[in-house]
Amino acid sequence: MKLLIIEDEPALSKSIAAYLAGESYLCEFADTFAKALEKIALYSYDCILLDLMLPGGSGLKILEELKRQNKADGVIIISAKNALEDKIQGLQIGADDYLAKPFHLSELTARIHAVIRRKQFGHSNLIKQNELEIDLLAKSVQVKEMPVLLTKKELDLLLYFIGNKNRVISKAALAEHLSGDLADMLDSHDFVYAHIKNLKKKLHEAGCDSYLKTIYGVGYKWEL
Amino acid sequence: MKQLLNKPLRAFAGYAFLILLCSIPAYYYFMDYIWISELNEHNRIIAEKTKYNLNAIANQDSTLAQTIGLWNKLQPNTDLQPTPTIQPDSIYNLYKQKPHAPNQDIDRFQGLVTYFSIQGQPFRFRVETNVEESYETILTITGVTLVFFIFLVLGFILINKRISARLWQPFYATLQKLRAFSLDKQQSITFDPANIAEFEELNQALSSLIESNLGVYKQQKEFTENASHELQTPIAIVQSKLDLLLQNQNLTQEQSSYIDEANQALARVSRINKNLLLLSKLENVQYARQESINLSELLSDTVLLFADYAEGKNIAINTILEPGVSATGNKVLVEILLTNLILNAIKHNVDHGSIQIKLSPDRLVIANSGTTTLLFDQLFRRFGRASTHTPSTGLGLAIVKEIATKHNWTICYEFQGNWHYFSLILTP
């Protein structure tokens, strides 16, 4: 899958590429407005990560250009501006998602996953992984063809883990995923533990292999 | 507080009183002096006339003693007696009982004693004329002076009132405008032209002061905004590097804990940054939208949001929410306000503590168990440290206060019986 990272900070784009390295992603970079315009005109991408403040112009212009060319590339805006109007404007022009800096790479990865999935399969898609099967439309989970009842948050976590498989995810990142913008105000992320414990228990009881590993003192990892 | 114009009024009244007070003895002295000199002259005329007349009629020796005897009987205030020698004249002033008066009545008399000879025989002549008593004179003058003083003061007050109403009108107009002024609103003031030079100067000085202040304020806000924005990207880079570092297979537990601590500190930096940004943008148009907000719903949603977190910290949340309580405001901001208040109640709680949230149409009270009272004057200040407790951004309550003020609500704090009470009073 092809990914374009439009970001003027090389340190950040390199981090993103490095994090995604194990997956079947092919990352390309554009660090200026002009380069970005050139790339989107020449190629198609499964997902474009778009910074709004670029040397040479606004990222929103690139988004408009994409829509003008009727491109179906998925777009996730990554911006230092967390202003509501930017978010609304970006989504109105046609971005698929909006992620404010700073973010956890695991969060970004989960969102890239979600965008690509939507683009490729529409909404009626199934995620299969050995004995585990998730129907995203019905929001249901089956293990060995037997349904497992998960709460909304547990399902959310499960998708997050699968989107970040084989990566260590910190508790802070999980807390942020679960409680959104509030996470960095919370001084303890213990509540994450309760949800993970339940998820593990339910999957285990349904006969699912224990893919979810606890990395002591750090976080969790979905190991395949 | 005294009004400016009342100060000179008091001084004027005091000065007038002093002068009028001094005038009383002066008037008395002059009046009495005129009285006495006139009476002395009068007495002298009587003496001269007596001497002349007696010399004219008493030319026979035999009738002189008889005439003088008759004189003394008929002229009540004079007395003519033979004397061995002629002496120099003298005048005197005395109080004595009025002769033949039915009741006791003391009168004042101005007297003259003079010596002259009638047909070569020396005589002593005494004449006394009734003169106004000193105390009566003083009393009358004092009374009249007092009446004038009252008129004077009344006049001062009246003039003062008219002056303050008319003359100071532009001053009060300026004051009114200054009172309504708020730096946050970013609106400069236009003063009405005053027809008094001093006030016009004052208005001009104020206008330029306000203009420059607004400029500085705006600059500072922009600075905060830009600084926060510029910080987000480096924070994002550090965050991504920490995430990458975490993927390292060979991390020791100690190294992992370093990453975790770095992550926590970074989250705090990020939150401070977001809060600063929020504070700097609170007055921007993006938060100008006002709508009717169902506080009961919003509050229960917010409590739900924190249910996990509170449970993880063993804190029970009890709510008594009157249904259908609504308020007009900006929904985004009100959400932030509620979030910050509830979050504070959870964070700064005791182990196994609890929180009481009570919403009524006029107020919202969020109470949480605690041990010691917080420093009130530090509580709502930016980066104020109201307690030495858990680290925080130091901006949460400052934001609460700013949002409350923006909506014309009041936020109060009280510590009572090991409970911290934060009340948001919704009626202005």
* pLDDT tier at A25, thresholds 50, 70, 90: confident
Q: What is the mean pLDDT of chain B?
A: 85
Report yes or no on B94 lying in a domain. Answer: yes
Ordered DSSP codes for B180-208: H--GGGT----PPPPSSHHHHHHHHHHHH
Distance between A175 CA and the closest CA of chain B, angstroms: 10
Q: Are residues B198 and B134 in the same domain?
A: no
Instruction: Give me the domains of chain A, ranges plus CATH numbers.
Output: 2-120 (3.40.50.2300), 123-222 (1.10.10.10)
Size of interface A-B (CB pairs under 8 A): 125
Report yes or no on B171 lying in a domain. Answer: no
Report yes or no on B378 lying in a domain. Answer: yes
Q: What is the CATH number of the domain that holds B384?
A: 3.30.565.10
Number of compact structural domains in chain B: 3
DSSP A123: T
Partner-chain contact A170 B281, CB within 8 Å? no
> Domain end: B155, B171, B205, which one?
B155
Residues in chain A with CB shorter than 8 Å from the CB of B305 are 179, 182
B249 vs B255: CA distance, rounded Å: 12
SS (H, E, C) chain A: CEEEEECCCHHHHHHHHHHHCCCCCEEEEECCHHHHHHHHHHCCCCEEEEECEECCEEHHHHHHHHHHCCCCCEEEEEECCCCHHHHHHHHHHCCCEEEECCCCHHHHHHHHHHHHHHHHHCCCCEEEECCEEEECCCCEEEECCEEECCCHHHHHHHHHHHHCCCCEEEHHHHHHHHHHHHHHHCCCCHHHHHHHHHHHHHHHHCCCCCCEEEECCCEEEECC
Using CB atoms, pick whichever of A83, A84, A106 lies closest to residue B243. Answer: A106
Residues in chain B with CB shorter than 8 Å from the CB of A219 are 246
Q: Are residues B198 and B141 in the same domain?
A: no
Q: What is the CATH number of the domain that holds B30?
A: 3.30.450
Q: Are residues B275 and B322 in the same domain?
A: no
Q: Are residues B138 and B226 in the same domain?
A: no
Q: Are residues B151 and B11 in the same domain?
A: yes
Q: Are residues B362 and B235 in the same domain?
A: no
Q: Are residues B299 and B237 in the same domain?
A: no
Q: Are residues B374 and B320 in the same domain?
A: yes
Q: Give residue A32's identity as a one-letter amino acid code.
A: T
Distance between A191 CA and the closest CA of chain B, angstroms: 5
> Domain end: B242, B257, B281, which one?
B281
The per-residue pLDDT string of chain B (428 residues; one tens digit each, 9 = 90 and over) reads 667 777 888 888 899 999 999 999 999 999 989 989 999 999 999 888 888 888 877 666 667 777 778 878 887 778 888 888 888 888 888 888 766 666 677 888 889 999 988 877 888 888 888 888 888 888 999 999 999 999 999 998 898 888 878 888 888 888 888 888 877 777 778 888 878 888 899 999 999 999 998 888 888 888 887 888 888 889 999 999 999 998 888 888 888 888 888 988 888 888 888 888 888 887 676 677 889 999 999 999 989 888 888 888 889 999 999 998 999 998 889 999 999 999 889 888 888 999 999 999 999 999 999 888 887 777 888 877 655 555 667 788 888 998 998 888 999 999 988 899 999 998 86
Partner-chain contact A105 B312, CB within 8 Å? no
Domain holding B88, by residue range, is 6-155
Q: Are residues B338 and B298 in the same domain?
A: yes
Using CB atoms, pick whichever of B270, B312, B343 lies closest to residue A190. Answer: B312
Q: Are residues B305 and B255 in the same domain?
A: no
Cα Rg, chain A, nearest whole Å: 18
Is residue A51 within 8 A of residue A59, CB to CB? The reply is yes
Q: Are residues B260 and B327 in the same domain?
A: no
Q: What is the CATH number of the domain that holds B188?
A: 1.10.287.130
Mutate to test the interface with B, among A89, A108, A177, A218 (most CBs of B within 10 A): A218
Cα Rg, chain B, nearest whole Å: 49
What are B255's two structure tokens? 């190294």
Report yes or no on B17 lying in a domain. Answer: yes
What are B326's two structure tokens? 């609504």
Q: Are residues B218 and B303 in the same domain?
A: no
Report yes or no on B190 lying in a domain. Answer: yes
